[in-house]
Chains A and B, each alone.
Chain A
Amino acid sequence: MLQIENLEFSYHKKKAPIFNGISLTIQPGSVYGLLGKNGIGKSTLLYMMCGLMFPHKGRITLDGVEVRHRRPETLEKIFLVPEEFDLPPISVDAYVRRNSVFYPRFDREQFDRYLADFELENVKNLSKTSMGQKKKYLVSFALATNTPLLLMDEPTNGMDIPSKSQFRKVIASGMNEQKSIVISTHQVRDLENMIDRIDILEGGRLLLDSDTADITSHLRFIKGAGEADIEGALYSVSTIAGYSAILPNPTGEETPLDIEMLFNYAIEKPAEIERIFANPVK
């Protein structure tokens, strides 16, 4: 379990802090969707979660040990797939030999299965593959390390259309009760049904930290609705097929969550979101 307590950080002393008191607990068994506008600090937060960057105030612990100490027992439990990266000019086998030793739960069979799922043939030189290919290699490797915490920064960027579907299959089959996955993304449509907890970063704080079932028990998401249906809507947009809207949910009837709409609503009316999901301070 990863615990973030009262995180504060700023890149420049004169500018507004990028984090102003963020607290968050990452529980095993869930896929977290970390959402936020460009430059809001999603990547920074991921880097801090794995000890690549240090907070100015507050602390981050994994199973009670502060990640900034970068102890081997901490690092073997975390894997980060960055948004942009290079792979060394070596073969897959050489890469595995070189890197898997750091992860005691690494499973070669699992890795090969993911590679097969992604239709990746053995290559002589990992550095000479496209960005999309590199992503798929690293995601496969990351899942096969079986670290309890897996962080992915915009993992579907650069992937072609069939790969995105493969990505979802690989995540769904590589996930289990012992793992937690944190995915920062703008491509919410790619991952809509994969995420079961949503965290929205805005203005240095976590605007929302709720599981999807909790969200749909508070809010109703409707699409293709007429004008009469959206009376009392908290948020609505007009589309070709009628209105899409978010409404209060007094009856508790469950509708499919639309993350994009939720995000737009949260950014437009942060105070309302905070009131509805009044998260007790953790």
Chain B
Amino acid sequence: MQFKENQTIYLQIAERISDEILLGHYAIGARIPSVREYAALVEVNANTVMRSYEFLQTQGIIFNKRGIGFFVSPDAKHKITEYRRNEFLKTELPRFFMQLYTLHIPMDEIDSMYREFIENLTSNPSNQAS
């Protein structure tokens, strides 16, 4: 696995597992690989992968059945979207606002651009990012 330079490894692995759940690699209710299996897969220390699993567990995305392993929660997809939405609002949006502020871009302009973007997206589904 290629890791980004500016995000901590355990969160990158948690993101990767979340993507895999969204893409249906691991079905709702299915068991995900053991910590050690996943550690071998991404070539990372098992303790780091354990942190990723604990993180996903705290977010309610996976749950632990003692002695059996980790499973995808029934509402995992919803929880992932919820988590990403919160992260976006908390970390990305302030940066975006800062740019708007320093470049003197009024919110009205953004608003109309955003409407146009949505219109474009819905009238031409091939533009949609997968």
Q: Using CB atoms, name the residue of chain A closest to B39.
A: A172
Bound complex: CA A260 to CA B101 (Å): 38
Among B20-28, B45-53, B67-75, B113-121, the one that faces the other chain is B45-53
Bound complex: CA A195 to CA B5 (Å): 17
Q: Using CB atoms, name the residue of chain B closest to A253.
A: B8
Q: Tell yes or no: B36 within 8 A of A by CB.
A: yes
Q: Tell yes or no: B40 within 8 A of A by CB.
A: yes
Contact A31 B45 (CB under 8 A): yes
Among the listed A165, A169, A195, A222, which residue makes an inter-chain contact with B6, where contact means beta carbons less than 8 Å apart?
A222
Q: Tell yes or no: A254 within 8 A of B by CB.
A: yes
Q: Tell yes or no: A100 within 8 A of B by CB.
A: no
Known: A172-B40, A173-B40. A194 touches B45 (CB 8 A): yes
Known: A169-B40, A176-B36. A224 touches B5 (CB 8 A): yes
Bound complex: CA A175 to CA B8 (Å): 22
Contact A172 B46 (CB under 8 A): yes
Q: Tell yes or no: B3 within 8 A of A by CB.
A: yes
**A153-197 interface (Cβ within 8 A of B):** 165, 168-170, 172-173, 175-176, 193-196
Q: Tell yes or no: A61 within 8 A of B by CB.
A: no
Q: Tell yes or no: A145 within 8 A of B by CB.
A: no
Known: A172-B45, A195-B45, A196-B48. A223 touches B5 (CB 8 A): yes
Bound complex: CA A222 to CA B8 (Å): 11
Among the listed A172, A173, A175, A193, which residue makes an inter-chain contact with B9, where contact means beta carbons less than 8 Å apart?
A193
Q: Using CB atoms, name the residue of chain A closest to B43.
A: A168
Q: Tell yes or no: B44 within 8 A of A by CB.
A: yes
Bound complex: CA A194 to CA B5 (Å): 16
Question: Most chain-B Cβ atoms within 10 A of its Cβ — which of A169, A195, A222?
Answer: A169
Contact A172 B36 (CB under 8 A): yes
The interface residues of chain B lying within 8 Å CB-to-CB of A173 are: 36-37, 39-40
> What total of A-B pairs shows CB separation below 8 Å?
57
Total count of chain B residues near the partner, CB < 8 A? 18
The interface residues of chain A lying within 8 Å CB-to-CB of B3 are: 193, 256
Least CB distance, A180 to chain B, in whole angstroms: 12
Among the listed A165, A168, A196, A223, which residue makes an inter-chain contact with B47, where contact means beta carbons less than 8 Å apart?
A196
| Chain A residues touching B, range | 20 to 34
Q: Tell yes or no: B7 within 8 A of A by CB.
A: yes
The interface residues of chain B lying within 8 Å CB-to-CB of A196 are: 45, 47-48
Known: A193-B3, A193-B48, A196-B48. A169 touches B43 (CB 8 A): yes
Interface string of A55-97 (1 = CB under 8 A from B): 0000000000000000000000000000000000000000000
Q: Tell yes or no: A255 within 8 A of B by CB.
A: yes
The interface residues of chain B lying within 8 Å CB-to-CB of A43 are: none
**A229-278 interface (Cβ within 8 A of B):** 254-256
Contact A255 B45 (CB under 8 A): no
The interface residues of chain A lying within 8 Å CB-to-CB of B7 are: 255-256
The interface residues of chain B lying within 8 Å CB-to-CB of A224 are: 5-6
The interface residues of chain B lying within 8 Å CB-to-CB of A3 are: none
The interface residues of chain A lying within 8 Å CB-to-CB of B45 are: 31, 172, 175, 193-196
List B residues at the A interface (Cβ < 8 Å): 3, 5-9, 11, 36-37, 39-41, 43-48
List A residues at the B interface (Cβ < 8 Å): 29-31, 165, 168-170, 172-173, 175-176, 193-196, 216, 222-224, 254-256
List 9 additional A-B contacts (Cβ < 8 Å) besides A175-B39, A224-B5.
A172-B36, A172-B43, A173-B39, A175-B46, A193-B45, A224-B6, A255-B7, A256-B6, A256-B9
